[in-house]
């Protein structure tokens, strides 16, 4: 079924003025604006091969129930289209989305019941043709992930406290339930599609009848056939337990799994494991602890750092078990030709010294929403949830450090270091910052109180830490009147470019020279470059 599609006359304010230096290492390069209203939902922004796409749901007029899916797209310079509109069913809420080639897929559900009617809208971004796909005969489950590959929808959710995955053919409506996933004491940690190989990976945590946890990597084709299953355990170390992890893309049919590990039934935070899985499903483990992390306590003030390091030396001499006093969670992996950069967050949760490891994993929210969607649980955004969110709703998280580990292709430690996060307290356990790494230069950028903070490491050594910059415009004749803090979202884009988006009120002079205000959703391309500081110093 093809739906009529209308093009809205809203246009971008494309600002092509010279970039503004907000500080020496960061440059606001380009900016795009779309007219909006303060109470409107934010656009969800995703990267594409050509640039970006932004989309949201908006009532047609005021509080009308007539809804529209609005979308626009830009190139890499944030030069873009107008805003296109697609009529969608009334009383339906957006609960999932994905990109596949030149198509945008959005999944809607009527009401909050898991058994409610669901529909997918397929938008051809080249022709703007729209196809509506009804989701019939699917399980009544709490959806946690929605991916599209080769016109097949991969639906993953929870049903009766057990995970389930179904494949729906969007062209003929057939449904396949993936076998081997639905079981007691199983949690899905990661669902990853591989368009090149036309397969998808499911990383699960299992607990046996003796309450011992292990991870399993299962690979399926698009017909639901299991191609392989690899059970990853701390071989020859029955005292240890691998709690969670992140799976890298396949490279020559081999993959790497990295994450935190701990002592079974005792402490889940002892360090980081590295498991390299070959094409035959064989793997080798390497375990890194505080004894390997020479720079772990760099985030502390000098006196506290020296005190902790002396205690660590004594513990090593006495051959004591080395444990971390708070929660260490792997947030991301940058895989190069012969290296793996691992980004971990180190934080304290108000629910206790460590995060719970049963049925809710502290990095789940990042896994299910990789495009900086963690702010959507706040008022004004879309209600994206993660497993265990109700139980963790009143928790607070004090972020102490961002730890970085560079490993070679065999898992040997090249360098490590830790940046202070200055004990910032938030209500979200999601990934704290964004990383750019090219094998030598590491830029770490995060948002705090409507400001950007940048750190820079070169070959593992800290050159800059938490240098603050306010948000700024590119057009020097305009001013920011107000920024909607809960709408702000920051993500790494490509190279050493980041993408900042959100809603602002902008003061400017109209054609008659009078002061006026406009409300916009903006996107700003942010460049992090340490050489800018050197150039500025030369000019001084």
Q: Of 389 and 510, which is predicted with more confidence?
A: 510
pLDDT in tens, 374-419: 333 333 334 444 333 444 456 788 999 999 999 999 999 999 999 9
pLDDT at 539 exceeding the cut of 70: no
The encoded tokens of residue 465 equal 């830490």
pLDDT in tens, 204-246: 988 877 777 889 999 999 999 999 999 998 887 888 888 788 9
pLDDT value of residue 349: 83
pLDDT value of residue 383: 40
What Å distances lie between residue 445 and 229, 467, 528, CA to CA?
A: 37, 10, 9
The verdict on pTM exceeding 0.95 is: no
Query: Across residues 260-288, what is the average pLDDT?
Result: 88
pLDDT value of residue 22: 45
pLDDT value of residue 24: 61
Query: pLDDT confidence of 168, banded at 50, 70, 90?
Result: very high
Query: Across residues 344-349, what is the average pLDDT?
Result: 91
pLDDT value of residue 237: 83
Sheet holding 6-7, edge to edge: 6-7, 84-88, 67-75, 51-59, 44-47
Query: pLDDT confidence of 184, banded at 50, 70, 90?
Result: confident
**What is the share, in percent, of the chain residues with pLDDT greater than 70?**
84
pLDDT at 371 exceeding the cut of 80: no
């Amino acid at each position: 079924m093809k739906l009529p599609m209308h093009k809205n006359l809203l246009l971008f304010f494309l600002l092509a003025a010279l970039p503004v230096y907000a500080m020496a290492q960061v440059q606001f390069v380009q900016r795009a604006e779309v007219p909006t209203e303060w109470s409107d939902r934010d656009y969800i922004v995703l990267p594409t091969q050509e640039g970006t796409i932004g989309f949201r749901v908006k009532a047609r007029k005021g509080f009308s129930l007539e809804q529209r899916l609005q979308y626009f797209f830009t190139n890499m310079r944030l030069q873009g289209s107008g805003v296109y509109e697609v009529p969608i069913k009334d009383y339906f809420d957006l609960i999932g989305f994905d990109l596949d080639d030149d198509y945008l897929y959005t999944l809607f559900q009527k009401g909050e019941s898991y058994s409610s009617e669901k529909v997918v809208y397929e938008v051809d971004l080249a022709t703007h043709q729209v196809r509506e796909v009804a989701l019939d005969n699917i399980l009544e489950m709490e959806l946690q992930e929605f991916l599209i590959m080769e016109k097949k929808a991969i639906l993953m959710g929870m049903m009766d406290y057990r995970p389930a995955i179904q494949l729906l053919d969007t062209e003929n409506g057939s449904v396949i339930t993936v076998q081997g996933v639905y079981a007691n004491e199983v949690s899905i940690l990661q669902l990853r599609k591989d368009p090149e190989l036309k397969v998808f990976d499911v990383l699960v945590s299992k607990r046996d009848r003796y309450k011992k946890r292990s991870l399993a990597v299962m690979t399926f084709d698009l017909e639901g056939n299991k191609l392989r299953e690899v059970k990853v355990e701390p071989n020859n170390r029955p005292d240890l337990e691998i709690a969670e992890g992140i799976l890298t893309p396949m490279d020559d049919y081999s993959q790497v799994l990295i994450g935190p590990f701990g002592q079974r039934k005792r402490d889940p935070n002892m360090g980081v494991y590295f498991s390299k899985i070959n094409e035959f499903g064989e793997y080798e483990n390497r375990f890194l602890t505080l004894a390997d992390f020479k720079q772990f306590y760099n985030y502390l003030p000098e006196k506290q750092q020296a005190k902790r390091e002396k205690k660590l030396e004594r513990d090593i001499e006495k051959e004591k078990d080395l444990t971390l006093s708070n929660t260490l969670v792997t947030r991301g992996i940058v895989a190069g030709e012969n290296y793996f950069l691992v980004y971990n967050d180190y934080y304290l949760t108000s629910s206790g010294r460590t995060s719970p490891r049963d049925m809710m994993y502290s990095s789940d929210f990042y896994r299910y929403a990789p495009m900086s969607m963690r702010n959507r649980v706040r008022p004004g955004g879309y209600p994206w949830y993660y497993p265990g969110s109700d139980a963790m709703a009143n928790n607070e998280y004090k972020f102490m450090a961002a730890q970085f580990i560079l490993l070679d292709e065999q898992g040997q430690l090249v360098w490590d270091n830790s940046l202070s996060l200055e004990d910032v307290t938030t209500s979200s356990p999601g990934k704290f910052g964004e990383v750019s790494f090219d094998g030598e230069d590491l830029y770490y950028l995060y948002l705090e109180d409507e400001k950007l903070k940048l750190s820079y490491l070169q070959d593992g050594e800290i050159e800059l830490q938490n240098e603050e910059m306010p948000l700024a415009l590119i057009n020097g004749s305009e001013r920011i009147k107000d920024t909607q803090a809960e709408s702000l979202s920051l993500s790494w884009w490509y190279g050493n470019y980041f993408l900042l988006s959100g809603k602002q009120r902008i003061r400017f002079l109209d054609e008659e020279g009078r002061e006026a205000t406009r409300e916009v959703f903006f996107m700003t391309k942010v460049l992090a470059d340490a050489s800018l500081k050197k150039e500025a110093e030369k000019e001084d």
